[in-house]
Amino acid sequence: MKSRLPACPQRRVHYMGAMLSRFRSRPKRTDRLAEGLRLYAIGDIHGRSDLLDTLLTQIDADLKGWSGDSEIIFLGDYVDRGNASAAVLERLAGGAPSGRRWTLLKGNHESILSHLVSGRPREDDALYPAWLKHGGRETLASYGLPATLAFGDDEAAALGALRDVMPRAHVELLDSLDLMRREGDYLFVHAGIRPGVPVEEQRQRDLIWIREAFLEHRGDHGFHVVHGHSITRDVDAQANRTGIDTGAYATGRLTAMVLEGDSRRFLST
């Protein structure tokens, strides 16, 4: 097949420049939801029940006068680090108010806590010490357990005490969490996805743990990914994804992304 490029070098440069300009001027895909639907995606709560209450109040106010359908999607990491994990799980286990709809996704911290309280055998002996280091002590304290258990060496005693005091509703909640939610041109997930892998073939570990391979990818996923897990000072808005973990447990900023039609905006404590 003969090349369609002009033979003259000067004309070739002009031709390539024009093609590049046309490529750059192509409109980007506009991500949108179905008409009449408003979605709120809430980032990592990490034991800050006070911020959760404040943000839910803001959402209630934002919905006043709205006659369409609405849904709140929680992106996971409800427990650890903050001082009120038990209160957060209690609030979420109580379910959405009448007439509202909630979807709760699984974060890596829920995955760990669920495994620890299940009593199932595990191969990783470092799981419990790592959990304590990354917020588990605060979770134990939120259930009223003494510091001697949280800072002691008796893992069996600490986890046994936690199983004794954790309400059944909290355990069932941890076991019932979804891994992802797709709506319109958006995919909601805790950590992200493995680029190039079809949604139905994504592994749970990637969905709740992935960082660099997802965060550094700039290609189009075929939908816009809304995620938490990786803390940024402000909302991390990219062409192919938006990260809304603004470090609530340390910064006092719990963020919600508000989606309606083809618009995006944010609420924050």
pLDDT digits 0-9 by tens, 26-76 = 446 689 999 999 999 999 999 999 999 999 999 999 999 999 999 999 999
Residue where the block lists tokens 């992802």: 180
- d(C-alpha 135, C-alpha 108), whole Å: 12
| Percent of the chain whose predicted confidence (pLDDT) is above 90 | 84
Q: The tokens of 30 are what?
A: 């506009």
Q: Which helix (H) or strand (E) element contains residue 59?
A: helix 49-63
pLDDT of residue 18: 47
- Distance of CA 119 to CAs 12, 143, 238, Å? 69, 18, 40
Please determine, for residue 15, whether its predicted confidence score (pLDDT) is greater than 50.
no
Please check whether residue 126 lies inside any domain of the structure: yes
Query: Does residue 24 surpass a pLDDT of 60?
Result: no
Average pLDDT for 5-14: 47
- Quick check: pTM over 0.75? yes
Compute the mean pLDDT over every residue in the chain, rounded to the nearest whole number.
91
Amino acid at 135: G
Q: Specify the higher pLDDT residue, 51 or 152.
A: 51
Could you tell me if residue 250 is inside a domain? Answer: yes
**Per the domain annotation, does 4 fall within a domain?**
no
Residue 95 CA to chain centroid, in angstroms? 19
pLDDT tens readout for residues 215-258: 999 999 999 999 999 999 999 999 999 999 999 999 999 999 99
Indicate the pLDDT class of residue 9, thresholds 50, 70 and 90.
Answer: very low
**CA 257 to CA 86: how far, in whole Å?**
25
- Span 11-36, average pLDDT: 60
Average pLDDT over residues 128-145: 97
Section 181-187 average pLDDT? 98
The answer to whether residue 149 is domain-embedded is: yes
Q: What is the mean pLDDT of residues 143-154?
A: 94
Asked, for residue 5, whether it belongs to a domain, the answer is no
Per-residue model confidence (pLDDT) at position 121: 77
Please calculate the CA angle 146-151-155 and round it to the nearest 5 degrees: 90
Order of strands, sheet of 180-183, starting from the edge strand that comes earlier in the sequence: 180-183, 186-189, 224-227, 241-243, 236-237
Q: How many domains does the chain have?
A: 1
Whether the predicted pLDDT of 138 surpasses 70? yes
CATH number assigned to the domain comprising residue 248: 3.60.21.10
Pairing of strands 102-104, 255-260: unpaired
Give residue 219's domain range.
37-268
User: Is 152 inside a domain boundary?
Assistant: yes
Alpha-carbon distance of 179 to 227, in angstroms, equals: 12
Tell me the pairing of strands 236-237 and 241-243. Answer: antiparallel
Distance CA 269, CA 267 (A): 7
Radius of gyration of the chain, Cα coordinates, nearest whole angstrom: 22
123 falls within a domain: yes
Residue 73 lies in a domain: yes
Distance CA 55, CA 48 (A): 11
